[in-house]
Homo-oligomer: A and B are copies of this chain.
Amino acid sequence: MRADARKNYSHLLAVARDVISEHGVDASLRDIARKAGVGLGTLYRHFPTREALLEALLRANLDELTRRASELETMSSPDDALVSWFREAVGFTHSYSGVVNLMAAALADPDSALHASCTTVRSAGARLLQRAQAEGMARADLDGADLLALIGALAWVRDQFSFAPRADHLIDFIASAILTERPGSGATKR
């Protein structure tokens, strides 16, 4: 990678971080190139798709989320670990508005630049969920995909101006519902 290319790449990323923080994942790519003082084609050369740009922006955060899952797996009780991670995952989506839509689409599309990172996060969450389920601490009728769907659903709530004030409360609500056994099935394992 030539020196000028390297410089353009990192500067584009920095500008994109600002613009997308402010305007969400549907921010104008033209605007990003303009603010970076770079030709539009240069942005497309470095990031052939919008997903590719967001993948570069999110990779570190998604990796961190995966790492945190492993950490919690050894450091906390299964129920606390699951709920803590769940909260952190919803919090993470706060970084760029609309990011969960992109992640949901990426899960369905193996060709998306975000696909790998997203499935990794899903697996990390699924492991925490299974650990809690094995101890009878979480509902048995949920899987890793459900966990991610709930994270996305709560991120959606948080993204809506009118619902945002209640988002934290609904996170508590759903987190406790994940841990609660089904009503009527009083039986617990062990």
Contacts and interface: CB of A to CB of B under 8 A. Distances in A.
Interface of A: 101, 104-105, 107-108, 139, 141-142, 145-146, 148-150, 152-154, 156-157, 160-163, 166-167, 169-170, 173-174, 176-177, 179-180, 182-183
Main secondary structure of the interface of A (DSSP, over half): helix
Contacts of A141: 169, 173
B160 A145 contact: no
B177 A163 contact: no
Q: How many copies does the complex hold?
A: 2
A166 B179 CA distance: 19
The 6 closest A-B pairs by CB, nearest first: A177-B177, A153-B153, A108-B162, A104-B160, A107-B162, A149-B163
- Residue among A105, A141, A146 having the largest count of chain B Cβ atoms under 10 Å: A146
Given A141-B169, A157-B153, A163-B145, A177 B174 contact: yes
A169 B150 CA distance: 12
Nearest to A148: B163
Contacts of A148: 163
Nearest to A153: B153
Contact of A163 (B152, B163, B173): B152
Contact of A160 (B105, B154, B166, B182): B105
- Residue among A145, A154, A156, A183 having the largest count of chain B Cβ atoms under 10 Å: A156
B162 A150 contact: no
A99 to B, nearest CB: 13
Contacts of A154: 153
A152 B167 CA distance: 12
